[in-house]
Structure 1
């Protein structure tokens, strides 16, 4: 049972890293080296700053999660976590700015990405607040949610390169972005809350054999 509990998160974490590397190579790199600049020339400084913040966010978030998961170098975990929150906040705020100013179609796409940025900021703030108040179990859960949302920015980039819903036309990109950040967040919440829905042990099952025998004797004495 212990090996399974380690393997599943490790598999999901590895998938997040590999998919991030794929998006960096296929989508982010062409933007940084100038191939995608002409289309975004009017808002290029904001976009490049957002990309830098996003790359730092996904990288530092993975490092902070790994350090916290292994409970090693917790001093480094705190500083890396702070850098993650700072870079992610910059990237998310710039998403909101672009959602309000960028003229590309479809405009509904920016409602989806802007909402994602607001949710990331809220979740990250809850994780930071829990850590400040030394509620580390709550902090751990909020930061797991935060990193899931960080990865969904990768999912959103996938949504702009893969036509998931061709029958929706140009609005298919918007639909894919909504799905690509809401579904992982819901799946994360189910995983975090799974044990809370487990069967409740009956009182007799919770007792040791000696305790169960003592209960039976007390019942027979009362009769």
Structure 2
């Protein structure tokens, strides 16, 4: 790859920034006043809402700093800023957000299928992030980028989750009186369960395909 190709602006940088900004502008307002009545997710226990808000706060930091981390220009022209932003992503974003996400997943009101998915998501996000940080500390930067690509996919999967939620609701809602016997609870749990699995599994598979594509190019 030539120097000109390396310095060429990446076409996905601006769309990603706009997508993250739009998502946060839509998702955050109900939680800014710390009013549980405005929560889009019903709180099944007294401790659930504070932990949910904690998760949302740290996840917001994670999304913003993660978007900055994969900006090639910032990484190339300002490596010190890239390193500092990376530490913020790890210690003030992904790690606390994934821990809080693990806790709320255990009590989320979306049924066992969604709970298992969210527990796995939180565990993998934590693990990929820690591994990526450890490799950076060991100056194994090639492997570091691979693990952080996985962490990025899991971090941003919340956006994919919302898109799949709309799709699965459109597909399954007409089956309320047939497949689900008129039970709105069963319908809601089915939508949530399928949504959360497709929400993070598909982005992670896409990341693995992209990483494998890079290796195939290197071999060729």
State the TM bucket, normalised to the shorter chain: 0.7 to 0.9
TM-score if structure 1 supplies the norm length? Answer: 0.75
Aligned residue number for residue 55 of structure 1: 60
Q: Of the candidates 105, 115, 129, which is equivalent to residue 99 of structure 1?
A: 105
TM-score of the superposed pair, with normalisation by structure 2:
0.76
1:14-29 aligned within 5 A: 14-29=14-29
Q: C-alpha separation between the residues in 1 aligned to 2:217 and 2:89? A: 34
- Equivalent position of 1:120 in the other structure: 125
Q: Which residue of 1 aligns with 2:181?
A: none
Q: CA deviation at 1:96?
A: 0.7
Task: Report the Cα distance in structure 2 between the residues aligned to 1:173 and 1:4, rounded to whole angstroms.
Answer: 42
SS in structure 1 at match of 2:28: helix
Instruction: Write the distance in 2 (CA, Å) between the matches of 1:6 and 1:189.
Output: 25
Answer yes or no: is 1:185 the counterpart of 2:204: yes
Offset at residue 156 of structure 1 (A): 2.5
Find 2:39's aligned residue among 36, 41, 63: 36
TM-aligned CA distance change 1:53 to 1:90, over 3 Å = same
1:126-147 per-position Cα deviation (integer Å, ceiling 9, x unaligned): 2112111111111122212211
Answer whether contact 1:23 1:157 (CA < 8 A) is retained. Answer: no
Q: How far is the alpha carbon of 1:185 from its aligned partner?
A: 1.4
Alignment partner, residue 179 of structure 2 = none
Aligned equivalent of 1:164: 168
* Cα pair 2:164 2:198 within 8 Å, conserved: no
Aligned length: 198
Larger radius of gyration: 1
> What is the CA–CA distance in structure 2 between the aligned matches of 1:83 and 1:198, rounded to whole Å?
32
Mapping of residues 61-100 of structure 1, within 5 Å: 61-66=66-71, 70-86=75-91, 87-100=93-106
Task: State the Cα distance separating 1:13 from its structure 2 match.
Answer: 3.8
Structure ranking higher in helix proportion: 1
| Structure 1 residue 49 displacement after superposition | 0.8
Residue 50 of structure 1 contacts residue 95 of structure 1 at CA under 8 Å; is this kept in 2? yes
Q: Is the 8 Å Cα contact of residues 75 and 82 (structure 2) preserved in structure 1?
A: no
Partner of 1:174: 193
Q: Structure 2: state its 5+ residue gaps.
A: 176-186
